[in-house]
Amino acid sequence: MRDRIAVKLALNLLPIVISLALTTLLIVAVGSDPRAVLENSIEGVFRSTVTLAAVFNFWIPLALCSVGLVVTFTAGLWNIGVEGQMAMGALFASWAAQYLVLPSPLLIGVEIALAMLGGAAWAALVGVLKLRLGVHEIFGGVALNALASVLTIYLISGPWQPPEGGSAQATAPFPTDALLPPLSPDFPVNALALAIVAASVIGIALALRGTRWGLHLRATGKNPRSALLLGVPTTTSAMSALVVCGAIAGIAGAYRVLFTYASLRPLVTGGIGFLALLVVLLVGARAVWAALTALGFAVILGGSTRLKVALQLDQSLAGVLQGLIVLTVLLVNGFKARLLRDPGSEIAVPPAATIDISPAASSLTPSDSLDQGTSP
């Protein structure tokens, strides 16, 4: 038993060790000192409270998208459309910031609520395409990502263009009352956003582990056909997972326009949704670990900004390290599953002749199960 725990611990640490070793070799290959890279990366994060705040400002939307994706991954859904859902949240919040005249606290609350509505609605379209029209969520999500990007550019260069004339760069800056206020000039991070991240992480972690809804999502994600036969409303579960993820991603989009940029810009998501997919690939359906891993990624990216100035290294080195971590984790996880597999588990399934299911149920296929709704 003790040896088995030691093997698991070693295999959990192995991807990080391999990734760091490969990155070190790459740094040496381009003629730089790995120690200098490490020192400058740390300095790039911690040299001032402003640089540390920049890490948190990137982490907030990344953590929100990661936690949202934990929900859809639990339900067995590849929600590639999280980028579009984040963008639609930004669009809905931007509309409120430009056209609603309300007291600042009320206006901010309305903006966040509308951002959640926009992200949830865009995610619901992915669900409708999958569950009603048979379009896989990957293809539907990619298409809706593109539509959200095109719509953003149209609004910026058309109806929402700055008063001085047409531009595809950004809208006019939003009114101060519509923006999320920073904690202080020395640490420009919004307290409400931090509270929302904490509430989302705790709420999703508890919901997935301690509620009937979470049980339904896990059953749907593990085996939708079996879940359907056991009475789990698989269609409702899948749609709810997408809507919850979209709503949380919408808040992430609102943060980008109401705090990071104070206006709407093309590609406002900054690829955060895709990076969140890598985070969830690393940690699986664990909300707390998703948030912590997202913070690690934010620190890596924050530290990399100093490399180009100090060492003439491109900051894309951080992306290389992130990619190596994800790749090695996936490879090691596959090896670990094979190494630690219980030999008796392969014979636990009873013969087909002993399984008692009705003729109507037996006509279902795994691909049909999410389309049928509740149990027959």
Measure the CA–CA gap between 11 and 174, rounded to whole angstroms.
49
Whether residue 191 is contained in a domain is answered as: yes
149 and 170 part of one domain = yes
172 and 255 part of one domain = yes
- The residue segments making up the domain with residue 176 are 57-282
278 and 311 part of one domain = no
Dump pLDDT digits (tens) for 289-303: 999 989 888 887 777
Dump pLDDT digits (tens) for 313-370: 565 666 676 677 777 777 777 776 676 665 443 433 333 333 333 333 333 433 344 4
115 and 140 part of one domain = yes
Whether residue 375 is contained in a domain is answered as: no
224 and 314 part of one domain = no
Q: Give Cα separations from 87 to 55, 117, 251, 309, 345 (angstroms).
A: 21, 12, 10, 31, 44
64 and 43 part of one domain = no
- Per-chain mean pLDDT for the chain: 82
Domain count across the chain: 2
Dump pLDDT digits (tens) for 79-116: 999 999 999 999 999 999 999 999 999 999 999 999 99
Whether residue 365 is contained in a domain is answered as: no
259 and 110 part of one domain = yes
Whether residue 372 is contained in a domain is answered as: no
33 and 72 part of one domain = no
67 and 189 part of one domain = yes
Measure the CA–CA gap between 11 and 148, rounded to whole angstroms.
40
Measured in residues, the chain has a length of 376
Whether residue 296 is contained in a domain is answered as: no
